Structure 1
Amino acid sequence: MTMAEITGFVADLDGVLTVRPGPDDGSPEISWGDTYFFYAPDGAVPTATQPFATLVTKNHPGDELSRLDRPDTFRLNVGAGRDAFAAATGRAPREAVPDDDTTDPGAVDTLIAHPVYGSLGWLAVVDPGPRTERAVRELLRTAHHLARARHERRAHTAPSGVITDR
């Protein structure tokens, strides 16, 4: 799957805001060229939530294990949640990685726990391809559903934590 194919697939999900930082928007240079997917039916970047998926095109400080400095390499990151994470990895997000785990975070077309954010239920795939395409599509749907559910819960809760409408 190409970045354009992934972006097109996600754009077809309801309420998605796609953000591509660049030099003219005040975003940090390290984010330029990356893509962030938010559930934002109002079209505004949410201030109190993270994207539900990202496409990164380069190594970030402290996140070099996927070796994104290789030519034409990118990584899809998906906030899959506990259940999808456990189904994909065989363990809960906060469980320690088994000592015998030989997963290469830079392996292409391989679904892995995110090298940095796996403990938060994030999964990743470097250069998704035929082996991971079906899983990638399902994970993106799941992450979108989770983001929409969080948004809807917040929309029904006042800042004081009082439920205002159900």
Structure 2
Amino acid sequence: MLPLPRFLASALQATLRAAVVLLLPLVLWGQSAAAITAPELRSQRSLQDLQPDMHGRNLQQQEFLKANLEGFDLSESDLRGAVFNTANLQGANLRGADLEDAVAFASRFDNANLSDAVLRNAMLMNSKFAGAEIAGADFTDAVLDLPQQKELCSRASGTNARTGVATRDSLNCR
């Protein structure tokens, strides 16, 4: 076997060192560390500061991935651009909250109070709203599953105090 040229050998050694530095924490932490993504780690850090009463707080662009916010008071909070993927917001108070451009994929809003909330341009695919209070909520250009949109239309009422848009109109109810 021929010896490797010096520059190639040193490049190979540097690559191996980098691989060890990157993989060693995973080996030490076990497989559970490999299952946590960078956004989930950021979300865990932001969840450390959460309290059941978050009324009126500025929570713009926060990540609440897999967060249990059941029964939390987020009323009148600024949640523009926040991410709630697979979050539990059942029974949460989001009255008057600004959720414009929020992302809530596969999240639960069952029995939540969304009255007078602004959900413009929100991505709400696979999310559930059973029993949620939506009087005066503005869903303009929000993306919802068709069955959820129809279910929300069956109980939509009121006009949003901030935007002046009727809930039925914002949901494109027929």
Tell me the TM-score normalised to structure 2 length.
Answer: 0.21
Query: Relative contact order: is structure 1 or structure 2 higher (C-alpha 8 Å, sep ≥ 6)?
Result: 1
User: Higher strand fraction: Structure 1 or Structure 2?
Assistant: 1
Structure with max Cα Rg: 2
